[in-house]
Amino acid sequence: MTIQPYLPIVALTLALAACPQTPEPPKPRAATAPAAIETAQAAAPAAAGVASPKGPAASAHADGIDWRKGDVDAAFVAARADHKPLFLYWGAVWCPPCNQVKATLFNRQDFIERSRFFVPVYIDGDSPSAQKLGARFNVSGYPTMILFTPDGREIVRLPGEADPEQYMQVLTMGMNGARPVKDTLAAALSGGGKHALSADDWRMLAYYSWITDEQQLIPEKNVAPTLKRLAQACPSDQKDTAVRLELKALAAAATAKDARASPDASATARLLAVLADPRLVRENFDTLTEYAGKIAGFVTAPKSPERARLLASWTAALDRLVADTSLWTADRLVAVSAEVALARLDAKDAPLPAPLQKSVRDAVARADRETADPYARQAVIDAAAEALVEAGLLDDADTLLKAELKRSHSPYYFMVDLAEVAKKRGDKAGALDWYAQSYAAAQGPATRVQWGTRYVNALVELAPQDAAR
């Protein structure tokens, strides 16, 4: 699962004012693209009414959990009065990982039952004061889920990327222990304090959502070395936890802003041992799929025998994950994308082997065919399109995304993907048309500002001399 960034209203306004220097998002054109915008409006859920979420995930979301969606301060008052932890969910209607959480976690009976023992707060990024609340709680990506003590101290940021069973374990540990993870981290890093930590304390650190931490515990530049220290300090009788901490450390190091490949024979050997163990691979599928290419490229030298061995072992492990029906569909698609990333590591511009292309197409077709729930489809089709694009199958991605516009409850999200596909083809006009459609169809104040900023930046990048736009 990839955390979806959002930009607060103030930041987006500044980006609009400084668009010549902001090459990343798209651009707002006044509603003057008649055909394109009519298509976008026709596809918008409010206009078409074809894909408002229904079914088990939707009913659980609407009725199973007694969400508080109004006054957050009042929710904290209630939590204190009732001596209950407070669970805060921050998300967006269009966000694929948020929809995955709704389809795989919020509809689980054990989560619904557990929610009776905390105060559940639901913040949509487009709701009134949502952006101010984001700043208050140091949130910058969707979804973010935080558990607080009854008196308002942050206990833990929960791992949306983890398997639902793993997530429930972390949630239970957080509620039972009710000790802020910041205190647990300090004890783990101290000389003698680590010996007082329980196995659950160490697992809490291993499953903490470091990617949504927002420097609450430690500065971003210290995440990788800190996780490495934790892995080394982890008690010898908790090897599985130590493995997860080390994998998280490698992922953080490989994706750091100043990351430089550093062949590491010891790390490679430990990775090979993990990849040879199906149980450990399943336990850590999120890291091993999301960061496969980054980590493999970080610890081995290009075209070296060590890299060849690592890629072969990693690909075999990914093959097992792709075939693992206990994994959710979108996660299996991420495993397919990881296979593509590994195949391209030493052959960036070479065509993918035909068997791998077929594997990508087959996985996407199966996912499309078997996924009906609207929440699930928002995440699954996003992962499927990404796999096709990474495999260079742009026509397939285009067809898939266009078909989804009629089914999605937030088609404007996929219009951005269509713009990116057109841009990859070198079709600037087509890309700008899709960016225009996405902005016209976007719903919600924060979303419209974010989509508008993306459109403006695309105009600056792709048509800087086009005064008519």
Q: Which of 156, 187, 218 is the last residue of a domain?
A: 187
| Residue ending a domain, choose from 187, 221, 242 | 187
Residue ranges in the chain modelled with pLDDT below 70: 1-63, 178, 192-194, 467-469
How many other CB atoms are there within 10 angstroms of residue 100's CB atom?
26
Domain holding 159, by residue range, is 55-187
**Cα Dmax for the chain:** 68
Query: 386-418: per-residue pLDDT in tens?
Result: 999 999 999 999 999 999 999 999 999 999 999
Predicted confidence at residue 25, as pLDDT, reads 32
Amino acid at 282: R
Q: What pLDDT was estimated at residue 465?
A: 83
68 and 168 both lie in a single domain = yes
State whether residue 349 is helix, strand or coil. coil
Pairing relationship of beta strands 144-148 and 86-91 according to DSSP bridges: antiparallel
Residue where a domain terminates, one of 187, 206, 232: 187
Residue 313, in any domain of the structure: no
Q: What is the CA radius of gyration of the chain?
A: 22
Strand order in the sheet with 154-158: 119-124, 86-91, 144-148, 154-158
Q: Say yes or no: 123 and 44 in one domain.
A: no
Domain co-membership, 430 together with 463: yes
The number of folded domains in the chain is 2
DSSP states along 301-340: -TT-HHHHHHHHHHHHHHHHHHT-TTS-HHHHHHHHHHHH
Q: What is the pTM of this model?
A: 0.85
Strand, helix or coil at 245? helix
182 and 69 inside one domain: yes
Q: What pLDDT is recorded for position 47?
A: 33
Residue 4 confidence (pLDDT): 57
pLDDT score of 63? 54
78 and 146 share one domain: yes
Closest to 442 (Cα-Cα) out of 40, 142, 48, 143: 40
The angle formed by the CA atoms of residues 254, 206 and 289, to the nearest 5 degrees, is: 45
Residues 109, 35 within the same domain: no
State the Cα–Cα distance between residues 1 and 140, nearest whole angstrom.
Answer: 16
Q: Do 46 and 70 fall within a single domain?
A: no
Residues 299 and 272: their CA atoms lie apart, in Å, by 12
> Is there a single domain that holds both residue 5 and residue 83?
no
* 272 inside domain: no
Residue 467's pLDDT is what? Answer: 66
Whose CA is closest to 230, among 274, 193, 280, 278?
A: 193
Is residue 319 in a domain? no
Torsion angle of alpha carbons 109, 111, 112, 115, nearest 10°?
160
372 falls within a domain: no
